[in-house]
Amino acid sequence: MAPPSGNDAGQSGNALDNLLTESRTFPPSAEFAEQANATSDLAERASADREAFWAEQAGRLSWTSDWDQVLDWSAAPFAKWFVGGKLNVAYNCVDRHVDSGHGDQVAIHWEGEPGDSRAITYADLKDEVGKAANALASLGLTAGDRVAIYMPMIPEAIYSMLACARLGLTHSVVFAGFSAEALRSRIEDAEAKLVITTDGQFRRGKPAPLKTAVDEAVAQTPTIQNVLVVKRTDTDVEWTEGRDLWWHDVVDGQSTEHTPESFDSEHPLFILYTSGTTGKPKGILHTSGGYLTQAAYTHHYVFDHKAGEDVYWCTADIGWVTGHSYIVYGPLANRATQVVYEGTPNTPHEGRHWEIVQKYKVSIYYTAPTLIRTFMKWGADIPAKYDLSSLRVLGSVGEPINPEAWMWYREHVGGNRCPIVDTWWQTETGAIMIAPLPGVTACKPGSAMGPLPGIGAKVVDESGVAVGKGGGGYLVLDQPWPSMLRGIWGDEERFRDTYWSRFAEQGFYFAGDGAKYDSDGAVWLLGRVDDVMNVSGHRISTTEVESALVSHAKVAEAAVVGASDPTTGQGIVAFVILRGGATEGGDIAKELRDHVAKEIGPIAKPRQIMVVPELPKTRSGKIMRRLLRDVAENRQVGDVTTLADSTVMDLISSGLNRGS
């Protein structure tokens, strides 16, 4: 693995130079600091006694039995947090707020894409989750069973997740933009017994079928006993009697009363699949007490959230970890009032997000850099038409945010008054790890600043030695944290190999990201150092797309790279050799792009497909993606001396530059 540099990290060299000479800082205003949840002594308290600090944070939750030990790291890298403690995650996110007299507070202002909306109070949420839990129990599901959730952003998706949590069922949410094949492999890996889905979903103003993909997937997954279907779009569906059930038939008539059972702090809460460096997605496993503690802790401090006052909006989809931790678990544990929006940001017009901010007086807004860059492209005059004065904290997640986008966000969305929290974390970390604390940290445009109190993160060189100010290398986590993954579902060896072998001697968790300290010691994330691409904040592995391409009858070989892209961060560029040495015929690029969409999902469609006669390989047969990235980014091709055949790059370059 090459040491990270600007190019290897997927950011263009120039952007990186700009990043590292960034000198603007934005200290918190006195006014903000005065009311902030975070105070400057937090970090000190955490470092004085980490375990006591985390125990204090776990006190944000209601436990039915106390833990005997904060952390058991004796079986590292498998952690146990709050050992012996018991709680019910759904009770913590729902019932206790009703019990404490906040049943009338709106939990979710749900906004449908076609313009329908629902206000769901905590009392409503308790009833809905109770009914759904009774329904799932009536289907014979018991604690420990796995349930796949393949749904658009409708309230029933959240009810489903919470009903699973309430019963101790382990949910596996699969992004509804993924293909039938992606759903099938995830159901199979987790041996799920139930899929919850919808007839269809609204996408860019039109209903699109969804259950058809489930039908295709479950035809090959014998573990599935039932398919539970919410009617959302009134799309015609095929029906398998005995297996398929309408939500309104099974759930609506249930009692709203459901007594929550307590589960062990380490009881599995969910599996969420994410891309790694091989073709097979990893089922990241999270458990209950530690996960919820850190989700709640970070949501409270990083967003400066005030229950009953703020209106919070995280624009993620529940198909990603951000939706799990910062739509469902963190905010609801903290009794947030939040906006949940079903649709796309430009349906029916490009001001939709700002219209929603204005309508609900959103005060905390959390989104991704790719969307901010899209808003920039659409123009500052669009947000300017709306009243955004309710906003007070802005967040960013998913990929490095470039300083230009940060400054635009600050000025055109935040009115130059809102702190911006750039939050670094991963599916594996479960919750935010590196971010400024609003009210305490002076922010720099483009930097995630530093690890949160209680978190141990550092930048190390090849041999695991911490680099100093101005130095760069690999980001590692050097202390266990409560919401850390507890493994990869069914694959202990892959868990050890992927995260714990690179710096085994030091016992560090290897995040797979390159990072640098600036001269003040602030952390700058530089992108992935492995074969994982980041397209619009979504993780996609090069191997995954390559496997999809070679599964097409016309493709003999394929190599995929992530090339820097002004809007999506990285764009997927594929180099393919066609069977029988064919060069090009028909609309092969379109055919292959559609094939990848079918195999993985539209988010994995290559931006560009180049048909080539050869691929650059080392003598041991490894594809040199670095050289292909040079071609994809229109740069002078780098050092070719380690190629088995050094003329290959000439062959590739001479046949190209026609685009596709």
| Residues near ligand WTA (CB under 6 A) | 274, 320-322, 397-400, 422-427, 448, 511-513, 525, 527-528, 534, 539
- Give Dmax over CA atoms of the chain in angstroms: 74
Copy the structure tokens of residue 378. Answer: 């659409």
Contact 337, 314 (CB under 8 A): no
Nearest distance, CB of residue 295 and ligand WTA, angstroms: 12
76/500 Cα distance (integer angstroms): 10
- Hey, what amino acid is at 129? V
Smallest separation, CB 50 to ligand WTA (Å): 23
CA angle 339, 345, 349 (to 5 degrees): 115
Smaller CB separation from ligand WTA, 351 or 537: 537
Shortest Cβ 478–ligand WTA spacing (Å): 17
Do 92 and 72 meet the contact criterion of CB atoms below 8 Å apart? no
Q: Is 322 annotated as a binding residue?
A: yes
Q: For 373, list phi and psi in degrees, rounded to 5.
A: -65, -35
Consult the annotation and say whether 529 binds a ligand: no
The least distance separating ligand WTA from the CB of residue 547, rounded to whole angstroms, comes to 20
What phi and psi, each to the nearest 5 degrees, are found at residue 484? -70, 150
Beta bridge mates, 230? 198
Smallest separation, CB 247 to ligand WTA (Å)? 29
Min separation Cβ 292 and ligand WTA, Å: 17
For ligand WTA, the closer CB: 525 or 563? 525
CB of 39 to ligand WTA, least distance (A): 23
For residue 99, the minimal CB distance to ligand WTA (Å) is 32
Minimum CB separation of residue 336 from ligand WTA in Å reads: 18
550-552-555-561 Cα dihedral, nearest 10 degrees: -50
Angle at 365 between CA 118 and CA 528, to 5 degrees: 120
| Residue (215 or 544) nearer to ligand WTA, CB | 544
Q: Are 436 and 421 contacting, i.e. CB atoms less than 8 angstroms apart?
A: yes
Interatomic CA distance for residues 303 and 300, integer angstroms? 6
Task: Give CA–CA dist 133/162, Å, rounded.
Answer: 8
* Residues forming a β-bridge with 194: 147, 226
* CA dihedral sign, ordered 225, 231, 233, 234: positive
Rank residues 134 and 294 by Cβ distance to ligand WTA and give the closer one: 294
Q: 426: annotated binding-site residue?
A: yes
Structure tokens at 499: 């995260």
Query: How near is the Cβ of 446 to ligand WTA at its closest, in Å?
Result: 9
Confirm whether residue 567 is marked as ligand binding.
Answer: no
The two structure tokens encoding residue 102 = 């906040």
Strand boundaries in 536-623, DSSP class E: 538-541, 555-565, 569-578, 608-611
Query: Is 344 labelled a binding residue?
Result: no
Continuous H helices in 334-478: 352-360, 369-378, 381-384, 403-408
Least distance (Å) between residue 274 CB and ligand WTA: 5
Residue 399 counted as an annotated binding residue? yes
SS3 readout for 128-174: HHHHHHHHHHHCCCCCCCEEEECCCCCHHHHHHHHHHHHHCCEEEEC
Residue 338 or 426: which CB sits closer to ligand WTA? 426
Nearer to ligand WTA, 376 or 603 (CB): 603
633 marked as binding residue = no
The answer to the question of whether 634 is labelled as a binding residue is no
Closer residue to ligand WTA, CB minimum distance, 91 or 175 = 175
To the question of whether residue 536 is assigned a binding role by annotation, the answer is yes
| Residue 290 or 616 having the CB closest to ligand WTA | 290
Does 170 appear as a known binding residue? no
Q: Give 403's DSSP letter.
A: H
Residue 338 marked as a ligand binder = no
Q: Which is nearer to ligand WTA, 55 or 477 (CB)?
A: 477
Is 552 annotated as ligand-binding?
yes
E-strand stretches of 157-243: 170-173, 194-198, 200-203, 206-209, 226-230
Residue 539 annotated as binding? yes
Q: Which is nearer to ligand WTA, 155 or 512 (CB)?
A: 512
112 vs 398 by CB, closer to ligand WTA: 398
Which string of b and e fits 604-638 if b means at least 16 CB within 10 Å?
bbbbebbbbeebbbeeeeebbbebbbbbbbeeebe
- Known binding site for ATP: residues? 398-400, 422-427, 513, 528, 539
- Known binding site for Mg(2+): residues? 550, 552, 555
- Known binding site for CoA: residues? 203-206, 322, 346, 536
- Known binding site: residues? 203-206, 322, 346, 398-400, 422-427, 513, 528, 536, 539, 550, 552, 555
